[in-house]
């Protein structure tokens, strides 16, 4: 279903405007993953394109259905003008988007994804929390039996937040961020108080 990707790109552009940059990464044995950059005012958004070309499959499944199954793309929103070199997040984002093909994971809301190194040079984050879709970019319905493409926001987590989330859960961490007024788009923010 390679024809899914033009529909996905059209949905991204309809919600975020025209991308002002794009980069492509291909990992051995995987489909090409592009990362599109959209800028609006003091925000920059990075969205993957290519992850939804195939449905994600349960790694324990004996047979993988080429049509049915969850599909997703990832969206990361950051504030510009902080001095952080967030442009280098393209490769880590492509790595995360390739993880369903490489590692057989199903990326879903509430999951933690870790790249094992800072998301960009000097970033206090090496992992992200996958949030619920449907806010910034509406889900893209596909013809049955294919499931919809979900555009999943990524929320950067500090190592302390990621450890706390493993114990208390995604919902508890999101409530902690909310009650403390955490700016999750700040690429240089400190860890939220977890005491």
Is the model's pLDDT at 147 over the cut of 80?
Answer: yes
Segment 89-106 mean pLDDT: 91
Q: Give the per-residue pLDDT at 62.
A: 66
Q: How far apart are CA 86 and CA 57, in angstroms?
A: 31
**Does residue 54 register a pLDDT over 80?**
yes
Q: Is the Cβ–Cβ distance between 185 and 156 less than 8 Å? A: no
Q: What is the tens place of the pLDDT at every residue in 159-189? A: 999 999 999 999 999 999 999 999 999 999 9
pTM (predicted TM-score):
0.93
pLDDT digits over 58-96, tens only? 766 666 677 788 999 999 999 987 778 888 999 999 999
Q: Does 135 or 63 have the greater pLDDT score? A: 135
Least confidently predicted of 17-31, 40-54, 120-134, 166-180:
17-31
Measured in whole angstroms, how far is the alpha carbon of residue 185 from the centre of its chain?
13
**Average pLDDT of the residues of the chain:** 91
pLDDT value at position 127? 96
The mean pLDDT of 121-136, rounded to a whole number, is: 94
- Contact, 8 vs 153, CB < 8 A? no
Instruction: Tell me which of 134 and 37 has the higher pLDDT.
Output: 37
pLDDT at 20: 94
Query: In this structure, what is the dihedral angle of CA atoms 114, 20, 185, 118, given to the nearest 10 degrees?
Result: 30
pLDDT tens-digit profile of 4-16?
999 999 999 999 9
| Mean pLDDT, range 93-103, rounded to an integer | 91
Percent of the chain predicted with pLDDT > 90: 75
**pLDDT for res 1:** 46
């Amino acid at each position: 279903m390679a024809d899914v990707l033009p529909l996905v790109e059209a949905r991204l552009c309809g919600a975020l405007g025209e991308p002002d940059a794009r980069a492509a990464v291909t990992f051995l044995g995987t489909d090409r993953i592009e990362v599109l950059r959209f800028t609006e005012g003091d925000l920059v958004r990075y969205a993957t394109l290519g992850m939804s070309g195939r449905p994600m499959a349960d790694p324990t499944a004996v047979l993988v259905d080429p049509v049915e199954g969850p599909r997703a793309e990832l969206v990361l929103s950051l504030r510009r003008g902080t001095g952080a070199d967030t442009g280098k997040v393209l490769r880590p984002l492509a790595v995360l988007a390739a993880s369903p093909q490489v590692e057989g994971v199903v990326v879903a809301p509430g999951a933690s994804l870790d790249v094992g190194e800072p998301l960009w040079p000097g970033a206090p984050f090496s992992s992200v929390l996958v949030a619920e879709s449907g806010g910034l970019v509406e889900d893209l319905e596909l013809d049955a039996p294919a499931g919809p493409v979900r555009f999943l926001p990524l929320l950067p987590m500090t190592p302390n937040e990621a450890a706390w989330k493993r114990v208390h859960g995604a919902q508890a961490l999101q409530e902690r961020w909310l009650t403390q007024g955490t700016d999750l788009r700040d690429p240089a923010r400190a860890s939220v108080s977890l005491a």
